[in-house]
Amino acid sequence: MTSASSSPTAVDFFFDPGCPFTWRTSRWITEVADAGVATVTWRLMSLSVLNEGKDIPEQFRPLMVQSARTLRVLAAVEDNHARARLFTALGVHRHDNGEDWDDTLLATAIAEAGLPAALIDAADDAGLDATVKESHEESQAAVGQESGSPVLRLGGANGKAWFGPVVVPVPTGDEALRLFDAVTLLADVPSFSELKGSRNQF
């Protein structure tokens, strides 16, 4: 089993902050990182970019617009630890507390992450869309096909990547580390490409 005494595994975690499944996977990989067996770089991907040109049901469109605005703010935060703090604050308010996905939540999360209030202006900076899209395209290239959020990549730019894992509820303690062991083991099997089952309910 993985232990904190071994060298931490580098993990790129590509995420769209509006996705509730992504939030739960992020709590799992954070627990793994806190145990000292992984180092996580928080990277961006966009479900809005992924679904460009597709027929999106009307009820989901405002959520995707706000996720795109939030991604701009995250893109403006270049420090990895600060981006992690902001994502955590966003996720607690939205996915744990069920608060409205709006600019009030965004401003609150920015403050809780210890970042300047003026950062919210980045939500209206369309110039940041190119940064988000570049990171998103890297996530898709890493997986090798169109994939949703999150994308987990192990071992750096040339490492193995895939969608997920999808976890409900969030595994903790030994269970979290066992899952990470399984993921890293599968990454060492070149012939492995996909494993899928039915999703647990929230």
pLDDT of 4: 47
pLDDT of 193: 79
How do the domains of the chain map onto residue ranges?
9-187
pLDDT of 83: 98
Concatenated DSSP letters for the chain? ---TTSPPEEEEEEE-TT-HHHHHHHHHHHHHHHTTSEEEEEEE--HHHHTTTS---GGGHHHHHHHHHHHHHHHH---HHHHHHHHHHHHIIIIIT---SSHHHHHHHHHHTT--GGGGGGGG-GGGHHHHHHHHHHHHHHHTS---S-EEEESSTTS-EEE----SS---HHHHHHHHHHHHHHHT-TT------PPPP-
pLDDT of 157: 87
Per-residue confidence of the chain (202 residues) as pLDDT tens digits? 554 447 899 999 999 999 999 999 999 999 999 999 999 999 999 999 998 877 777 777 888 889 999 999 999 999 999 999 999 999 999 999 999 999 999 999 999 999 999 999 999 999 999 999 999 999 999 998 888 999 999 998 889 999 999 999 999 999 999 999 999 998 888 888 777 777 887 7
Kindly report the number of other CB atoms within 10 A of residue 42's CB atom.
Answer: 24
The CATH classification of domain 9-187, taken from the options 3.40.50.1980, 1.10.260.40, 3.40.50.261, 3.40.30.10: 3.40.30.10
